[in-house]
Amino acid sequence: MKLFTFKRGGVHPPENKSLSEHKPVKSPELPNRIAINLNQHLGKPARPLVKKKQEIFVGERIGEADGFISAHVHSSVAGIVTKVEPAMTAVGILADTVFIDVDKEKTAEELAAFYQQTPADFTQMTTQELVEKIKDCGIVGMGGATFPANVKLSPPPDKKIDTILINGAECEPYLTADHQLMLEQPDALLNGLMIIQQILGVQNTWIGIETNKPDAIQLLQQKTDTGRFPGIQIAPLKTKYPQGGEKQLIAAVTGREVPSGKLPFEVGCLVQNTGTAVAVYEAVCLNKPLIDRIVTITGFVNSPGNYRLPVGATFRQVIDDCAGGFRDESRVKTVINGGPMMGKNVRNLDVAVMKGTSGILVLSDTEFHYEDEGPCIRCGRCVDGCPMGLMPTKLAIGAEYNRPEDLDTVMDCIECGTCSYVCPTRRQLVHWIRLGKPIFRNASGS
């Protein structure tokens, strides 16, 4: 079996996926109240459309896209709006948030109705109809970036897309939500991919899956071998981090390199996540907005697993109700929105699940050790490990000492965390590089 991989840099940290691997997706009991942030996407936050005491239904639009790079936000439950006000989000910023008291019985009935209907025939729809459906349902990239899918699926006319890539790598340690999604909803994934093919007029399509998921590779290979999904091929990927990075996936499968400062369509490629493809299918064929997603809850909890969570459920509620709570709260050191390499610590457990929440990771004093930074010893490990071919130590020093002239390549950093992971003196390189990006933008006027 031919293995695909990117050639520059990368690491193989401990996978730690066995905690939740192969655990079927479960749907928890609905919470009594949810809080839906209106910045569920990259770009400008949505404008609130509802007000206090308003009764709403499942899938109702509660936030209006406010600009070209923006996305609609919908209610994941039926109930009554109790307030609309700014609240802290899982990514650490304040955003307008709609708080809803949940009508559990009505929510269950209305949610079930999406799946009880006969799926629409997407082959009879025009490209414009397909893109409008995706836009109306608020679909965004679910691999973490949350870029509005309708915008990504409408490349400039002069940029010809000839290859579609689906990211099924799930290279982050601990996370298994995408793996389980591929095992449980392969037809939805493949039909979503055919919709994307139809929109772009492209059949050359690859699903990249790391070899630590052999059952997903085998299942999707069997499905595509039937001939029902023309043009779709499976690309087994070497298990290596960050194999699922957009530019790394393109390099691994096509051998093309996206130029500095450019986007994948510059080399004729478009990349989407597996969850996005399923959401596209549900939007087009079931008219279901992006109101829930599969999330891995794992680490130092009693019942690690994969759970279909409504957007707006709080971390505290799902850790308790789904994962059985912490094993020992006194030993919990941090809770992360996402995985350990690219995820961000949450400030408190009352933040809500968002469209981009792929995992909720709880780390104890055994897994998490904070160590003071030491000086750079010029060992070069961060340079060898960087999958973008950058000099992380130079960029970090440029940010730390406010030297924009040393930050010329900072915008190419994908913040994968490889440099921080390999640094023997525990330099917080990604932290400094994140700070360096606005320093560079302000200095360059970009």
Q: What is the pLDDT of residues 289-319, one digit of tens each?
A: 999 999 999 999 999 999 999 999 999 999 9
Please name the residues in contact with 21: beta carbons below 8 A apart, sequence gap of 6 or more: 176, 179
The yes-or-no verdict on residue 166 having pLDDT over 70 is yes
Domain 122-286 matching CATH 3.40.50.11540: the answer reads yes
Distance of alpha carbon 130 from the chain centroid: 22
- E strands, 332-400, in order: 332-337, 344-345, 359-364
Q: Taking the chain, what is the end-to-end CA distance rounded to the nearest angstrom?
A: 45
What integer is the mean pLDDT of 177-192?
98
Angle at 143 between CA 141 and CA 145, to 5 degrees: 60
Q: What is the pLDDT of residues 342-367, one digit of tens each?
A: 999 998 999 999 999 999 999 999 99
CA-derived radius of gyration, the chain = 21
Enter the tokens of residue 50. Answer: 């509802």
Give dist(CA 277, CA 207) in Å, integer: 11
Give dist(CA 369, CA 372) in Å, integer: 10
Give the residue extent of every domain in the chain: 33-116, 122-286, 292-364, 381-444
- DSSP conformation class of 374: -
The share of the chain scoring above pLDDT 90, in percent, equals 95
The yes-or-no verdict on residue 446 having pLDDT over 70 is no
What integer is the mean pLDDT of 406-429?
96
Token pair 């909803």: residue? 185
Token pair 């601990």: residue? 174
The yes-or-no verdict on residue 1 having pLDDT over 70 is no
Contact (CB, 8 A) for 310 and 114:
no
Question: What confidence score (pLDDT) does residue 261 get?
Answer: 87
Q: pLDDT averaged over the chain?
A: 96
Decide: helix, strand or coil at residue 39: coil
Using CA atoms, how far residue 226 sits from 208, 221, 315, in Å, is 19, 9, 41
Determine the CATH number of domain 292-364: 3.10.20.600
Question: What confidence score (pLDDT) does residue 445 get?
Answer: 78
What integer is the mean pLDDT of 125-138?
98
Q: What is the pLDDT of residues 210-234, one digit of tens each?
A: 999 999 999 999 999 999 999 999 9
Question: What confidence score (pLDDT) does residue 372 get?
Answer: 87
Q: What is the pLDDT of residues 246-282, one digit of tens each?
A: 999 999 999 999 999 899 999 999 999 999 999 999 9
This prediction has a pTM of 0.96
Q: Which of 124, 165, 116 is nearest to 143 (CA)?
A: 165
Using CA atoms, how far residue 411 sits from 324, 395, 446, in Å, is 41, 10, 11
Question: What confidence score (pLDDT) does residue 143 get?
Answer: 87
The yes-or-no verdict on residue 416 having pLDDT over 70 is yes
The share of the chain scoring above pLDDT 70, in percent, equals 100
